[in-house]
Structure 1
Amino acid sequence: MLGLLVNEKEIKEMEYLIKREMDEILFDLKDHRIDHVVKRAMEERYKILFTLFRRVSSPNECLKYMRSEKAGSKKG
């Protein structure tokens, strides 16, 4: 286990960067030209980012980025 001490400004910056990356992944997941194997890797990355996001964001913000299991299991 590692610890990290950050101030409020740094938390907001981390939140912004993670949200931006998750938004990009969500956008790309809708692209029918992307292979399903690549989309599976993108889903895994999204899960990791969301786990980090939950640590720095409010529950209301997290709700906006929650994905259903059904959305994650779709074939693209």
Structure 2
Amino acid sequence: MLGFLFNDRECKELEYILRRELDEMLLDLSDYRIDGSLKKAIEDRYHIIFKMYSRFGNTKELSKYARSRQTH
């Protein structure tokens, strides 16, 4: 396990970067031109990034990015 110390401004920046990455992956997952194996890799990465974001984001923001693994 690694630990990082961030000031408030760095936390906001990291939160923004993670949100943008989640948005991009959601866009990619909705693209019909991407095949199944690549979508699986994106979903795995999405899960990791979402877990990281859950440490920074508030509940309202998290609900926008929550996905069910069974339905996708």
Query: TM-score when scaled to structure 2?
Result: 0.92
Which structure 1 segments of 5+ residues have no match? none
Which is bigger in relative contact order (C-alpha 8 A, separation at least 6)?
A: 1
Q: Spell out, residue by residue over 1:17-45, the C-alpha distance to the aligned partner (whole angstroms, 9 max, x if none).
A: 01101101100111111110000000000
Please identify which structure carries the higher helix content: 1
Over residues 40-60 of structure 1, what are the superposed CA-to-partner deviations in whole Å (9 max), with x where a residue is unaligned?
000000000000000111122
Task: Note the residue ranges of structure 2 that are not aligned, 5 or more in a row.
Answer: none
Q: What percentage of residue pairs aligned between the two structures are identical?
A: 47
Give aligned pairs, total: 72
Q: Which runs of 4 or more aligned residues in structure 1 lie more than 3 Å from their structure 2 counterparts after TM superposition? A: none
AA matched with 1:27: L
| Partners of 2:27 and 2:71 in 1: CA distance | 13
Task: Report the aligned-residue RMSD.
Answer: 1.0
